[in-house]
């Protein structure tokens, strides 16, 4: 017969094993489930109000909220990604066909007026003959076409992964909205924490989620407006389209709204407007780029009981550790730690005041 000590050790090992297996099972769905929890925490009050107006039909209210998320976020992002992939493939195809049929000179003739002279001067300085140059460009275009096809295939595979995570997010979000109250009650009942502590942590999670989402949307919107003003001043063609693109690219940390403005500045340079391109580049770095560094920490801080410096470094640390997800995960992790510290100080701290020893 085993002793209580050995039974406790075995039980602890089984608990650890179950946690590891649970992590292995949930790891492929982790990103989608995380965003589902964040969006549910932010949109749960809206779902409650909507369900009351629908006569208590919680499932219908959850379905409408999920539909709103699809229309507001997923469809525009998916449309922009599909447009970028299609235009990139078509551009490589056009270059390949033009070089094969008309040679390099035909490709130069298709360039904007501001770039034709520069391209022709560059071609005149090359030591190779036109026939050799055409053969070389055709070879490179064919090679780049293969790379573009592989890149498109990789992009489509990544798009499939994003669609899968998005579907899992919407399914999890639907069930969390419908049965969120039961889940909180179950956590209160089964959690080893004292009564009310699990709800306090979940309320802190919801508070930080709302603060981060609102600040991200507000910052991206402000950056898009500022970028749109710069596009109008620089006479960028289709400023509304590029302003909308700036709003969605602002959520991509590797590029950001400032990177989008710099790309449009290069476009203006290619169209033969160097001074407007220079203005737009400066505008993108000094004005659009600084909005994210100044406005977002201030907006996040308003909804969180944290110092502005802690918020700033939690955003940077989360971004470095987890990528784009870290913009939400970083503040959540820090807020979770601070909430635990407050609970520990309140519940288990020494309430007797310390006396100075003479």
247-263 pLDDT, tens digit per residue, is 878 876 667 788 888 88
pLDDT value at position 105?
63
Beta carbons of 62 and 81 less than 8 angstroms apart = no
At 145, list the tokens: 């076409």
pLDDT value at position 169?
87
pLDDT less than 70: residues of the chain: 1-3, 74-160, 162, 252-254, 302-308, 324, 349-358
pLDDT value at position 356?
43
pLDDT value at position 103?
59
pLDDT value at position 357?
44
pLDDT value at position 114?
55
Q: Which residues contact 97 (CB under 8 A, 6 or more apart)?
A: none
Q: Which residues contact 177 (CB under 8 A, 6 or more apart)?
A: 40, 43, 44, 47, 58, 61, 62, 65, 66
Angle between helix axes 30-53 and 58-69 (nearest 10 degrees) is 130
**pLDDT one-digit tens code per residue, 259-304:** 888 888 888 887 777 888 888 889 988 888 888 777 777 777 766 6
């Amino acid at each position: 017969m085993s002793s209580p000590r050995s039974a406790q050790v075995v039980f602890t090992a089984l608990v650890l094993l179950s946690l590891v297996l649970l992590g292995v099972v949930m790891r492929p769905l982790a990103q989608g489930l995380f965003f589902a929890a964040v969006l549910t925490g932010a949109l749960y009050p809206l779902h409650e109000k909507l369900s009351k107006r629908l006569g208590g039909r919680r499932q219908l209210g959850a379905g409408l909220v999920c539909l709103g998320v699809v229309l507001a976020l997923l469809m525009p992002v998916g449309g922009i990604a599909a447009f970028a992939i299609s235009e990139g493939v078509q551009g490589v195809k056009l270059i390949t066909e033009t070089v094969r049929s008309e040679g390099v000179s035909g490709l130069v003739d298709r360039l904007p007026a501001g770039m034709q002279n520069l391209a022709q001067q560059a071609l005149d300085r090359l030591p190779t003959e036109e026939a050799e140059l055409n053969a070389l460009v055709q070879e490179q275009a064919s090679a780049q076409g293969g790379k573009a096809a592989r890149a498109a295939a990789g992009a489509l595979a990544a798009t499939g992964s994003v669609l899968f995570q998005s579907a899992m997010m919407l399914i999890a979000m639907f069930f969390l909205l419908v049965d969120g109250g039961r889940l909180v009650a179950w956590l209160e009942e089964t959690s080893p924490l004292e009564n009310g502590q699990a709800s306090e942590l979940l309320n802190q999670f919801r508070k930080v989620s709302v603060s981060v989402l609102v600040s991200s949307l507000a910052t991206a919107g402000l950056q898009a407006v500022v970028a749109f003003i710069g596009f109008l001043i620089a006479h960028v063609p289709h400023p509304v389209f590029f302003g909308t693109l700036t709003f969605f690219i602002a959520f991509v940390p590797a590029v950001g709204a400032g990177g989008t403005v710099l790309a449009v500045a290069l476009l203006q340079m290619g169209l033969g407007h160097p001074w407007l391109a220079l203005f737009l580049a400066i505008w993108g770095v000094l004005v659009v780029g600084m909005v994210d560094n100044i406005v977002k920490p201030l907006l996040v801080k308003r909804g969180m009981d944290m110092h502005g410096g802690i918020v700033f470094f939690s955003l940077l640390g989360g971004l470095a550790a987890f990528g784009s997800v870290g913009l939400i995960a970083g503040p959540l992790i820090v807020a979770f730690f601070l909430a635990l510290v407050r609970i520990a100080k309140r519940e288990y701290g020494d309430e007797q005041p310390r006396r100075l020893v003479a």
